[in-house]
Amino acid sequence: MHNSFKPQNRILMGPGPSNVHPKVLEALSKAPLGHLDPQFIELMDDIKLLLKYTFKTESDATFVISGPGSLGMEASLVNLIEHGDKIIVCVGGYFANRMTQIVEKIGGQVVVVKETWGRAIDPQKLEDALKQNPDTKVVAFVHAETSTGALSNIKLLSEIAHKHNCLVVADTVTSLGTTEIYVDQWDLDAVYSCSQKGLSCTAGMSPITFSERAVHHIKKRKTPVQSWFNDLNLLLGYWSGTDKRIYHHTAPSNQFYGLHEALLILKDEGIENAWRRHKENSGKFISKLKQIGLEPLVPEGERIPNLTAVKVPEGIDEAKARSELLNKHNLEIGAGLGELAGKIWRIGLMGYNSNEKMIEFCISALKDVLKK
């Protein structure tokens, strides 16, 4: 006998997904609309406006890719890069490494600026790499490297890249809505994010924005974009234009409702207030972690405010502790990835979950599991 699926109502304090606001859940369950319904086009236009606010950009090439953050990553890279182009990727963790894999698949020539996992990218290393590789076309980096907990100064990295006439791709999958981002002021050319981390919606939507310079570059490509789904020229046919929208794919309307509601909640709070809330709660959380003997991996000043990586204490079976948190306390936190597997836990206080109640809950659950 089959029964309807009833998921546990988990407390999601890993690196994403995070818990969603009840209003977002409600929005997700409304009646679907056709992807060219006039009311749906209005919703798309409002999502665009809310995203411009969230990204701090005036660019009209601001919209959503119907897919997870990884699809936004691929969209940014595949549109800007042509076969044979030289690309510098700043790699200090698992997600930046994924960027190099995508560039290789496109046939780009990857130069890696390597950083220690758990540290912000050293701008001097990028400067040196650009001097050694003056033919570089694009520089790509991750703002908040969720695999390590380190936040890089992408304003500075972007400045250096532009000084060497490169376009800039920035991953803001974990930082959008939680950490200061000024896409226009920082001169970022292609920026993508996701719906399920700082924005506290369900997974499967990737907000994205391209600068005017990037759009111009894409229009002037010598070779066609090596992806049908992610070709900006086709996507903009669906996302812009006052009279006629061109069908691209069947937009998952309910996902759009959820994202719209999540963006509205953020706008109502005020994005600067949300940034401040995440920063303050991160400070409180880390001081309480230290009180129970847990040390952050990342040095002060380089930490992501909505995701803390802590070192697993000596003598603790980290997988067993996580499964006890899940089974006894209904709490999900994240494990280490790649070279940090088994060495750290990653704990998220994102969007809806960034509050004192969640801090207290998580600290007491950790205390209980660690005392044995």
Ligand X SMILES: *Cc1c(COP(=O)(O)O)cnc(C)c1O
The contact set with ligand X (CB under 6 A) reads 16, 68-70, 73, 95, 142, 146, 171, 173-174, 194, 203
Chain centre distance of CA 153 = 15
Nearer to ligand X, 88 or 170 (CB): 170
Nearer Cβ to ligand X, position 12 or 369?
A: 12
Q: Smaller CB distance to ligand X: residue 173 or 266?
A: 173
Taking the complex as a whole, the smallest distance from the CB of residue 94 to ligand X amounts, in Å, to 8
∠ Cα 274 278 283 (to 5°): 150
Structure tokens, 245: 């929208």
* Run of H or E including 170: strand 167-171
**Residue nearest to ligand X as judged by C-beta position:** 69
Min dist. Cβ of residue 352 to ligand X (A): 17
C-beta of 145 vs 231, nearer to ligand X: 145
Residue 357 CB, nearest distance to ligand X (Å)? 24
Dihedral class, residue 57 (left if φ above 0, else alpha if ψ from -120 to 50, else beta):
beta
Residues 260 and 51: their CA atoms lie apart, in Å, by 9
- The nearer residue to ligand X, 60 or 180, going by C-beta atoms, is 180
Diameter of the chain measured on Cα atoms:
66
For residue 206, the minimal CB distance to ligand X (Å) is 7
The residues near 193 (Cβ < 8 Å, ≥ 6 apart) are 69, 72, 172, 173, 175, 176, 177, 199, 206, 207, 208
Kindly state the smallest distance separating residue 163's Cβ from ligand X, in Å: 25
**Nearer residue to ligand X within complex by CB, 70 or 226:** 70
What is the distance between the alpha carbons of residues 291 and 122, in angstroms, rounded to a whole number?
A: 31
The answer to whether 336 touches 342, Cβ cutoff 8 Å, is yes
Q: CB of residue 95 vs ligand X: minimum separation in angstroms?
A: 4
Q: Residue 151 to residues 138, 191, 249: CA-CA distances in angstroms?
A: 21, 16, 35
What span, in angstroms and rounded, lies between the C-alpha atoms of 144 and 162?
21
Distance of closest approach, residue 196 Cβ to ligand X, in angstroms: 6
**Which of residues 28 and 73 has its CB atom nearest to ligand X in the complex?**
73
